[in-house]
Amino acid sequence: MVVIERPRTAPILLLIPLVGLLAAQLVVLSYIQASLTAKSLPLLFTPFAAFSGILVILNMPLRDPAMPSKGISAVYTTSTGELRTPEDNITPFQFMTVSWMAPLIKKGTAKNINDEDVWDLGYEFKHARLHSAFRVLQGTVFRRLLQANGIDVVRTTILALIQLAASMFQSLL
């Protein structure tokens, strides 16, 4: 799908089958009794391909790179109130690890943070944009909320499920 469609942004929903495929193939590999030979090479290829796909998706941008990035702070640069948050221009891996917050955290450990030390809100969270987009939608309040914020709900849910699976896996070890 990624090769044929060639998406410019991270296909987050593709992570679900890739993670499932990786987990299933690792289970299969764990039950192999004999030593690995040339005949078992296809068994090694599938988890490698799934893991590679996961890495590629986690390092793709969340936002279309063709969109203008004027006014957005570059990732890992010092925070300032004059620019929008780098959250508008990050990858899923940076989003999950919150690594783009490092400059702000570093500044906060050195001094008290003021309004001018913090990035401006990202485009998706600007009040005027959210208000006008919400007013245009039709239906019940719940339906309008889901339409306006559906992708955020999906993204947050998927990341929470990954975090839950990782913590359960860690507790098993």
Lowest mean pLDDT, pick from 1-5, 51-55, 153-157? 1-5
Cα separation values, 63 from 69, 116, 158, Å: 10, 25, 18
pLDDT (tens digit per residue) in 7-30: 778 888 888 899 999 999 988 888
The ranges assigned to domains in the chain are 2-58, 63-121, 126-173
For the chain, the straight-line distance linking the first and the last C-alpha, in angstroms and rounded, comes to 34
List pLDDT tens digits, range 134-163: 788 888 888 887 887 777 788 888 888 999
For range 29-52, the mean pLDDT:
81
- List Cα–Cα distances, 165 to 16, 144, 150, 153, 170, in angstroms: 12, 31, 22, 18, 8
Predicted TM-score of the model (pTM): 0.65
Identify whether the C-beta of residue 61 lies closer than 8 Å to the C-beta of residue 10. yes
Contacts of 71 (CB under 8 A, 6+ apart): 83, 84
Query: What is the number of other CB atoms lying within 10 angstroms of the CB of residue 141?
Result: 9
Tell me if residue 120 falls in helix, strand or coil. strand
**pLDDT (tens digit, 9 = 90+) per residue, 64-114?**
877 887 888 888 888 888 888 888 888 899 988 888 888 888 888 998 988
Q: Which of 104, 91, 88 is nearest to 159 (CA)?
A: 91
pLDDT of residue 145: 79
